[in-house]
């Protein structure tokens, strides 16, 4: 059911200074541990599901990783959980009301009457991300570690890219590529135009979701800058297919002065996991 990769072996560090970031989704999990004093990545572990899972099985895999034999470890000063799913809706802050959370979601996603709904404010950009977290995961993390922070992957991705994007006359389309999942963020003049999450099976599916999204935004494929990052590199099948239809395509390497470039360039290091640290 799962495939595991361990890319960085944990080094000795006082537990007081270790921060854990966990990304949770139906297609896999990723764990990243950072020493907050040296800003060094101490451990990284990734679990990929061969087929889309369920919240129950996700929790089972999570428990398996967070055991005493894992390279991730068990003692941390801070814990952050990032929920990756399509159960979200972006709301302008001026229109946002806490008592209307379910109404923001019911038109574009299936929610149950007993679903817990949360929200993140996207700082400095007057947006609120309303979403359904994996409640069983949050409950287990609280039982293990006590108080912790959790956010939606879209919140982390949007915030990070808006803060890294320079003023550009042409719109920029960022696509975070993962196994069987893609997240599209379109930014123009440091303003968010579009964000969405899709699941894909083939490179043709990937292209369809990308071109359809750009079409809805009435983007000129001759002018938009497409920046791919994550599980993609120049010359692979997805890159070449995108280049067939879009004039300007490149592989994007996120910048972060806190961590060594060679670690950030590793395909195994999940972008949202390290960005939230």
d(C-alpha 29, C-alpha 264), whole Å: 18
**Tens-digit pLDDT profile for residues 149-169:** 999 999 999 998 988 767 667
Query: What are the structural domain ranges in the chain?
Result: 88-131, 159-251
**28-35 vs 18-25, strand pairing mode:** antiparallel
- Residue 150: C-alpha distances to residues 47, 83, 161, 169 (Å): 19, 7, 19, 35
pLDDT band (50, 70, 90) for residue 15? low
For the segment(s) 159-251, the CATH number from 3.40.47.10, 3.30.420.260, 3.40.630.10, 3.40.50.880 is 3.30.420.260
**How many angstroms separate the Cα of 220 from the Cα of each of 6, 52, 173, 195?**
41, 34, 12, 18
Who's near 78: CB < 8 A, 6+ residues apart?
A: 19, 20, 36, 148, 149
Q: Decide if pLDDT at 273 tops 80.
A: no
pLDDT band at 260 (very low <50, low <70, confident <90, very high): very low
- What's the whole-model pTM score? 0.87
* More confident site: 231 or 75: 231
pLDDT band for 68, please (50, 70, 90 cuts): low
Indicate the range of 34-43, 79-88, 132-141, 185-194 predicted with least confidence. 34-43
pLDDT tens for 226-244 read: 999 989 999 999 999 999 9
**Is the sign of the CA dihedral 21, 23, 24, 27 positive or negative?**
negative
Q: What is the pLDDT of residue 9?
A: 41
């Amino acid at each position: 059911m799962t495939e595991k990769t361990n890319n960085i072996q944990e080094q000795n560090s006082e537990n007081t200074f270790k921060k854990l970031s966990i990304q949770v989704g139906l297609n896999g999990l990723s764990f990243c541990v950072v020493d907050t004093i040296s800003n060094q990545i101490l451990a990284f572990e990734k679990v990929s599901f061969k087929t889309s899972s369920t919240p129950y099985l996700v929790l089972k895999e999570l428990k398996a990783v967070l055991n005493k034999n894992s390279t991730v470890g068990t003692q941390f000063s801070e814990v952050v959980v990032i929920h990756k799913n399509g159960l979200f809706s972006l709301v302008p802050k001026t229109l946002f009301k806490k008592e209307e959370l379910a109404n923001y979601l019911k038109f574009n996603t299936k929610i149950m009457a007993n679903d817990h709904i949360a929200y993140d404010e996207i700082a400095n950009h007057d947006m609120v991300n309303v979403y359904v977290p994996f409640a069983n995961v949050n409950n287990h993390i609280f039982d293990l570690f006590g108080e912790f922070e959790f956010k939606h992957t879209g919140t982390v991705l949007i915030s990070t890219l808006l803060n890294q994007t320079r003023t550009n006359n042409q719109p920029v389309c960022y696509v975070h590529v993962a196994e069987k999942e893609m997240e599209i963020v379109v930014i123009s003049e440091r303003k968010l135009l579009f964000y969405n999450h899709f699941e894909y099976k083939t490179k043709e599916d990937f292209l369809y979701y990308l071109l359809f999204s750009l079409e809805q935004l009435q983007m000129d494929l001759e002018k938009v800058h497409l920046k791919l990052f994550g599980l993609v590199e120049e010359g692979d099948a997805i890159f070449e297919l995108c280049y067939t239809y879009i004039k300007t395509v490149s592989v994007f390497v996120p910048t972060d002065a806190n961590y060594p470039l060679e670690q950030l360039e590793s395909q195994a290091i999940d972008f949202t996991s390290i960005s939230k640290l």
